[in-house]
Chains A and B, each alone.
Chain A
Amino acid sequence: MSEQLPSVLESVFREIPNLAFEEKGARRLRVKLRADTLPALLELLKGRAGYLHLSAISCVDWPTLNEFELVYHLWSYEIKTLISAHIYIPKVPGRYVSVYDIYTPAAFFERDIHEMFGVYFDGSPDMEPFILTEWEGPPPMLKSFSTVDYVEKTFKWQDYSPLVND
């Protein structure tokens, strides 16, 4: 597998301890690593392999785990391979470091994740609400927040209702 891997990526991956990667398809690499080593990986990818583009950060709230999964999607216009770097951070206290100093667009993604999942990013320039400026409830994308219960409490229906148990 690693024969097809560009040598520059191989050299980067070798520098990060406990990194595992998997080829999910042509030009798609799934990388799993320890949370504390992620900034180092981003720095190396950006510096050596032309990974200039952080296209998204996504967050997954696994209901059965006590951890959030954060996925950093990176693209290089030289190597033309998408790298998705997966890390896990504990749900309590739900803090992680911002990668804003490496990729400025991260500010926006981190602000969004903070709003939707409550994860706080240390060093991110702005953690104020972005879309939910008038929302006072818990971060709504958390699995522990039941939107159906909230809707039942907050809204009324017409004479008929989409709820099956009615």
Chain B
Amino acid sequence: MKNSTTISISSDPNTDIACRTIDKKERSLLRKVIDRIADRCRSRSLFILHYCTGCGAIELPPTITSRFDSERLGIQPMVTPRQADILLITGYLSVKTLKRVILSYEQMQGPKYVIGMGSCTINGGMYWNSYATIKRLQEYMPVDLYIAGCMPRPEAIQEGFLQLMDKIDKGQANAWETYYQNYDAYLGNQQALFGPNWHTPTDVIAEAQHYNFLTEKSIGQHTALLAKFASEYVTQPIPNKVLSQEEAVE
């Protein structure tokens, strides 16, 4: 693959060669086979971000440790978002916590998977009439899988993990791509809750462009509001170039 003649290396000086944009035509049969193998390997080695939000988190210690031992499935906790694959939302999310969850989610590298665990993440659960908690997680970030229950037992969580692994294996766990493809809508929902000044330090639009997921729905009236923070953060309402590494690190 590496030295295949079909790969043209972009002359754009800002493009990191290792992370260059891949042309659609490049996805040859061999490439598809490799993707398939990669997906299979990926589904066997997953790290959950160690970030617990609601009471459902109490089911995680038995799930991860000796009794149910999710390491059998290749799933382990990880302490930082940058090295994690799975964001497990373990219960109710207050509006304040949601902000932190979005910050963590945006820092995770693709491909990344979100599991909404517990009834609270699905439709508010027993906190359906609370002013402080959000009701539907999927409005604010794409969710791959929900695990119903209040709280789901470790068996149910394992079952969810197995389903996610199966989806990854089949190449169907692509919810994270929709965050880039429909970023304007997700940002709109976030702004409706947090106010028009909501912004994160992550340059999602540039990332979308980088991953080649930029669509006409990635940018819109909501991302336009980010313009006033463009100087403070990297975020630009309409990017005209892929960020260089130095800019991205800033």
Contacts and interface: CB of A to CB of B under 8 A. Distances in A.
Interface of A: 133-135, 137, 140, 145, 147-148, 150-151, 154-158, 160-162
Interface residues of B, number: 17
Given A151-B135, A154-B193, A155-B136, A162 B123 contact: yes
What are the 7 tightest A-B residue pairs by CB atom distance, in nearest-first order? Answer: A162-B128, A155-B135, A147-B131, A158-B123, A150-B131, A148-B129, A134-B96
19 contacts: A134-B95, A134-B99, A134-B194, A135-B132, A140-B132, A145-B131, A147-B129, A147-B130, A147-B131, A155-B124, A156-B136, A157-B123, A157-B124, A157-B135, A158-B123, A162-B123, A162-B124, A162-B128, A162-B129
Contacts of B99: 134
Given A137-B131, A150-B131, A157 B96 contact: no
Contacts of A155: 124, 134-136
B142 to A, nearest CB: 15
Chain A: interface secondary structure?
Answer: loop
Contact of B128 (A135, A145, A151): A151
A151 B130 contact: yes
Contacts of A160: 123
Nearest to B193: A154
Interface centre among B135, B136, B194 (most CB of A within 10 A): B135
B139 interface: yes
Contacts of B129: 147-148, 151, 162
Contacts of B49: none
A137 B135 CA distance: 18
A36 to B, nearest CB: 34
Interface in B184-198: 193-194
A147 B133 CA distance: 11
Contacts of B151: none
Contact of A158 (B122, B130, B131): B122
A161 B129 CA distance: 11
A92 to B, nearest CB: 23
Interface centre among B95, B124, B129 (most CB of A within 10 A): B129
Nearest to B125: A162
